[in-house]
Structure 1
Amino acid sequence: MLVLRPVAPDDLPELQRLARESLVGVTSLPDDRQHLLDKILDSCASFAASVQAPGPENYFLVLHDRERGQLRGCSEILAMAGFSAPFYSLRNRPFVSNSRELNVQHGVPTLSLCQDLSNHSLLRGFHIDPDLVGTPLAELLSRARLLFIAAHAQRFADTSITEIVGYSSEDGQSPFWDALGKHFFDLPYAEAERLCGLQNRNFLADLMPQYPIYIPMLPQAAQDCIGQVHPQGREAFEILLREGFEANHYVDLFDGGPTLYARHSNIRSIGQSRVANACPGQHSGRGRAWLASNERLAGYRAILVHLDEAPGDLVNLDADAFQALELQPGDPVRLVAL
C-alpha cells in the first residue's frame, strides 16, 4: 500500500532521485542536495508550527511505498505565495488604444510582469513515477493536498493557484523562453528554471522588462506556447480541472504555461469531502475507490481505499487501512470519492 505523508529527513536520498527524474520546469524540486535538505527541514518546521493564519509555511508531502521503502512521488502546498518574497507571473491581457479621429478602438494582447497572484495558497512540486501516471495514485498524490487544506483551513488562504509546466522540446528548449526571457537573462531555459528553484524570484524583477510586451511581436512559435501544457504536465493539469480549478489570465514567465485558480469553497475535494468515524471492518476490495485521510497535522496520512458502500457517520476500514492511516477505532477520517 502506498501512503501519502509529510516528508522526513531520512527521505533525502530518495527525494534526490525524484528531483533528478522530475520534469524541467518543476522549479520547486531542483536537483540540489542542500536545497532539498533545507526544504525538508522547512516542511518539518511548518508541520510542527502553531499557526492560526496562512504565512510562509510549506507543507511537503511524499508518496511512500512502505513495502519497497521507496518514494514514488511528491507534492507541496505553500500556505501563501508572496509572503516571504514577491511571487511574479505574467498577466495576459489586452492593451486597448483609441483614436477619436479615426473612430477606431483596437486591443492588442500583452504580457506584463506582475505580483497579482500573491496572497493565494500555491500547489506545486507535483511529481510522480512514470508507471503511476494515469492511475488512481496520481489522484491521491494531488488531491490529498486538498483534503489536508480542508482539515486545516486556518493555515491556508481562501483560494489556491498552481502553475502548470508549459511546453518545451525533448531536448529542453522552450520557444517562449528563447523569444522572451533569454534576451534579458542570457541563460538557457533549463538553467533559468534551476536558478529560480534555488532562490527566490527577486532577481526576476531586476532583469525582466517592466513594460508590457506585445504578444503579436513575438515569434509565432513563442505565441503558440502561451497557455499550453507540457505533455508530462497534463496529468496534474487535468486532475485539478476536474477538481474545479480554472485557467485565468496569468502564465508562467519562463515557459508560458497556464496558471490555474480556484476558490476553496468550489474545490470538489474540499467542498464534497465528508468526515466519518473509523470502525474496524472488511470490504470485498471491488467497491468504489475513495481517498481517505486522517485529520492530523504532523501525523497526516492519506491512502486509497475501496468501499462497498458510501460512508455515513461511520466508515468500516480494514486492518491495513487502520495501520496505514495510524488510526484507532472511533478516530475521524476524511473521505472523498475518486
Structure 2
Amino acid sequence: MLIVRPAIAADVHDLLELAEKAGEGMTSLPQDEGALLDRIRLSCDSFDRQDKHRDDFFFLVMEDSRHNKVVGTAGVHAMTGARQAFYAYRLMSLTHHSHSLNKQVRSQLLHLTNDYTDCSEVGTLFLDPAYRGNGHWLARSRYLLMGLFAGRFAESVIAELRGWTDEQGNSPFWDAIGRHFFQMEFDEADTLCGIGSNQFITELMPKYPIYTSLLPEAAQAVIGKPADAGRRAKQLLELEGFSYDRVVDIFDAGPLMRAELSNIRSVRAIRQLSSALCADTSDDEDADDSQSLIIANPSWQQFRVICTEAQLISQHGQLIAQNGQQRLALSASALGHLGVQPGQPLAFIPEQLGA
C-alpha cells in the first residue's frame, strides 16, 4: 500500500534517487544529501512543535510499504520569507499617451516584489514516474494537513511552478535577465537556491522595473509559462481553486499560483468522523457501496494518509450515529497503515474532486 507520512532521516537515500529523477530545476528537491537532511531535520522539528512557528516546514513522503521505499514527495512551508527575502516579479501594465501624435502605447513591466512574503507555500511535489497516477492524492495530502491544522498555516497559500526550459535545460528568461546580473549559469544559480543559499539574490538582483518589450521574443514568450512537466501540476492547482496572479519566478518566469486556504476545494471537502470501524466487524450493519477516499489519521504526531476503498456504515440509508459517533469501515490493513485503532477518529475527502 502507498502511505503518505512525514519524512525521516532514514529516507535520505531514497530522496536522493528521486532528486536525480526530478532533474535540474527542482530547487525544493536538491541533489545534495546534506541539503536534504537539513530539510528533513527542519520538518521533524516542525512536527515536534505544538505551536505555530515561522520556520515551520512540513516534508511529506509517499512510501510504498510493500517495498519499503520512498517514491514521492510533497511539502509545505508555513511562511515564506521567514529567514530570507522572498522575491518575485509582478507583471504590471503601463499606458503612455502622446497627444501630439494622437497615439497610445501600452507596455508591460516586470516589477520586483515581496508581495507573497508571509504566505504559506506548497511545493516539493514529485512522484517517481513508475507510480504515475498517484500524484493527485499525494498533492492533496498537503491540503488535508493544512485543513486539519489550519492554525499552523497562513490564510493565503501560494505555489511556484517551474518555468519553461528547452530540451537542454536552458531558460530563455534567465538568459535574457539573470545571466547578465548574476554572471553565472542557470544551473548554478538554481543549485545555490536548492541548498538554501539565496542571499546573492538580494545582493545582485536588479531593483528597477524591466520593460518586457526590451527582452528577446523567446524570453517574452515564456513569461508565466510552466515547464512541460509542470502543466499537470498547474491543472491540479487550478482544480483546487488556485489562480495565476500575474506573478512569476525571478529566475525562469514560472507562474506563481495563489489561493485562500479556506477556499481550497480539498480543504472545504474535509470530513471528520469520530470513530473508525474495521470492515470485518461491520457484518451486523448495512454498508453503503464502497467509495474511493483519501483518508488521514488526524493526529498531529501520527499524521498519515492513504487512498483506498472504504464504506460508510449506514442503517436504512442513514449514517449511524451512536453517541455522536459516525463510522467509516476500513480493512484491518488500511487501519494498520494509518496507525489507527477501531473507535479512533479519522478524516477524509473523496478521491475525485467532483465527488
SS at match of 2:167: coil
Aligned pairs for 1:212-251 (under 5 A) are: 212-251=209-248
Letter in 2 for 1:117: Y
* Residue 46, structure 1, aligned to residue 46, structure 2: yes
State the distance in 1 between where 2:179 and 2:256 align: 21
Matched with 2:68 is 69
The residue aligned with 2:338 is 325
Report how far residue 315 of structure 1 moved.
0.9
Instruction: Provide TM-score, normalisation by structure 2.
Output: 0.89
Match of 2:14 in 1: 14
Give the whole-Å Cα distance in 2 for the aligned partners of 1:209 and 1:113: 8
Tell me how many residue pairs correspond in the alignment.
Answer: 334
Q: CA deviation at 1:85?
A: 1.4
Partner SS, residue 144 of structure 1: helix
Q: Contact 1:88 / 1:115 at 8 angstroms: preserved in 2?
A: yes
Larger mean CA deviation between 170-179 and 101-110 belongs to 101-110
Whether the aligned pair in 2 keeps the contact of 1:264 and 1:271 (CA below 8 Å) is no
Amino acid at match of 2:239: R
Deviation, 1:168, is 0.8
* Bigger relative contact order (CA 8 A; separation at least 6): 1
Which range moves more in the overlay, 41-50 or 105-114? 105-114
In structure 1, what is the equivalent of residue 272 of structure 2?
275
CA contact (8 A) 2:270 2:349 kept: yes
What pairs up with 1:202-221 in 2 under 5 angstroms? Answer: 202-221=199-218
Q: Is the Cα contact below 8 Å between 2:178 and 2:251 reproduced in 1?
A: yes
TM-score by length of 1: 0.93
Residue 95 (structure 1) shift: 2.6
Aligned counterparts of 1:38 and 1:308: Cα–Cα separation in 2: 40
Give the drift of 1:103.
6.0
Q: CA deviation at 1:310?
A: 8.8
Q: Show the counterpart of 1:82.
A: 81
**CA offsets 1:97-154 (integer angstroms, 9 cap, x no match):** 3456656554311112211111110011111111223x1x211211100000011111
Provide the aligned C-alpha RMSD in A: 1.9
Task: Name stretches of at least 5 consecutive residues in structure 2 with no aligned partner.
Answer: 320-325
CA distance in structure 2 between the partners assigned to 1:326 and 1:100 by the alignment: 72
What is the distance in 1 between the residues matched to 2:143 and 2:192?
29
Cα distance 1:170–1:310, how it changes in 2: closer, same or farther (>3 A)?
farther
Q: Specify the alignment match of 2:322 in structure 1.
A: none
Task: Name which of 171, 180, 198 aligns with 1:201.
Answer: 198
Larger radius of gyration: 2
Which amino acid letter does the alignment assign opposite residue 88 of structure 2?
S
**Aligned to 1:127, what secondary structure does the other structure show?**
strand
- Are residue 183 (structure 1) and residue 196 (structure 2) matched? no
Cα distance in 1, alignment partners of residues 340 and 260 from structure 2? 31
Following TM superposition, the consecutive aligned residue runs of length 4 or more in structure 1 with deviations greater than 6 angstroms are none
Q: CA deviation at 1:171?
A: 1.4
Matched AA of 1:281: A
Percent of matched pairs sharing the same residue: 35
